């Protein structure tokens, strides 16, 4: 089947503003949007810029706005979108070229929540053990692949970029509720800031969009509750 693809393109060296480019692409219903973009880049217009690496939904490189929703281009099939496909770069991050956005603001938020294990106690002989129940507490939030789909689907993040965003909060959740970690109070203090957890207005765009199916809004609600309970 033939699909009509509209791509929001922008080359800062040539264009004053982004513009829509249209392509007709022959596809198989079981092609992924990534295959469609490859077809365009390899056969129609080699100047199209996009990011992708593993192409199998785990590296998190090809997040983009497809038919009005944030998704990974490698995880959505043409048959589920119909004959018209619209592709835009992620919102809320500066566009470098076409579908490639500058991820630095996103990763800078991520680093603010100290996404590493903090534990100064002398390590045991073998390893820091964790019970299955303790591990289950962070099962969901460890699944994050940092694709930025959630953060760039959040209308609060679009506002002024001040919000830490769902992805950074998921990372914070993963360490705060890790039984081996000791820096929960410090992280909770960071999340209690104006830019932190309480900027979440339970819009659910993040949860709806997450390609890993993480219950992001629930994780953020857990964090709000932990902050309030730790201070009252």
Residue closer to other proteins (CB basis): 37 or 227: 227
Q: Are the C-beta atoms of residues 197 and 220 closer than 8 Å to each other?
A: yes
86 binds other proteins (CB under 8 A): no
Residue from 10, 199, 210, 214 touching other proteins (CB under 8 A): that is 199
Residue from 11, 162, 180, 184 touching other proteins (CB under 8 A): that is 162
160 binds other proteins (CB under 8 A): yes
Determine the Cα–Cα distance for residues 209 and 203; give it in Å rounded to an integer: 12
Minimum distance between the CB of residue 157 and other proteins, rounded to whole angstroms? 9
Query: Could you tell me which stretch among 15-23, 26-34, 65-73, 74-82 binds other proteins (CB under 8 A)?
Result: 65-73
Q: Which residues bind other proteins (CB under 8 A)?
A: 65, 67-70, 91, 108, 111-112, 153, 155-156, 159-160, 162-163, 186, 189-196, 198-199, 201-205, 207-208, 215, 217-218, 221-222, 224-225, 227-228, 231
């Amino acid at each position: 089947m033939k699909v009509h693809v509209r791509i929001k393109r922008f080359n800062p060296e040539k264009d004053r503003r982004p513009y829509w480019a249209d392509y007709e692409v022959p596809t198989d219903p079981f092609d992924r949007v990534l295959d469609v973009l490859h077809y365009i880049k390899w056969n129609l217009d080699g100047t199209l810029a996009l990011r992708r690496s593993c192409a199998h939904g785990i590296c998190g490189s090809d997040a983009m706005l497809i038919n009005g929703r944030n998704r990974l281009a490698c995880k959505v099939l043409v048959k589920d979108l119909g004959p018209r496909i619209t592709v835009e770069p992620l919102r809320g991050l500066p566009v470098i070229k076409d579908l490639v956005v500058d991820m630095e603001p996103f990763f800078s938020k991520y680093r603010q929540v100290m996404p590493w294990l903090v534990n100064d106690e002398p390590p045991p002989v073998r390893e820091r053990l964790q019970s299955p129940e303790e591990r289950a507490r962070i099962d969901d939030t460890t699944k994050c692949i940092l694709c930025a789909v959630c953060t760039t689907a959040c209308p609060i993040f679009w506002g002024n970029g001040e919000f830490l965003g769902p992805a950074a909060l998921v990372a914070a959740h993963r360490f705060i509720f890790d039984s081996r970690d000791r820096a929960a109070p410090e992280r909770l203090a960071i999340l209690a800031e104006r830019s932190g957890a309480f900027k979440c207005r339970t819009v659910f765009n993040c949860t709806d969009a997450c390609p890993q199916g993480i219950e992001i809004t629930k994780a953020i609600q857990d964090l709000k509750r932990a902050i309030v309970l730790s201070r009252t």
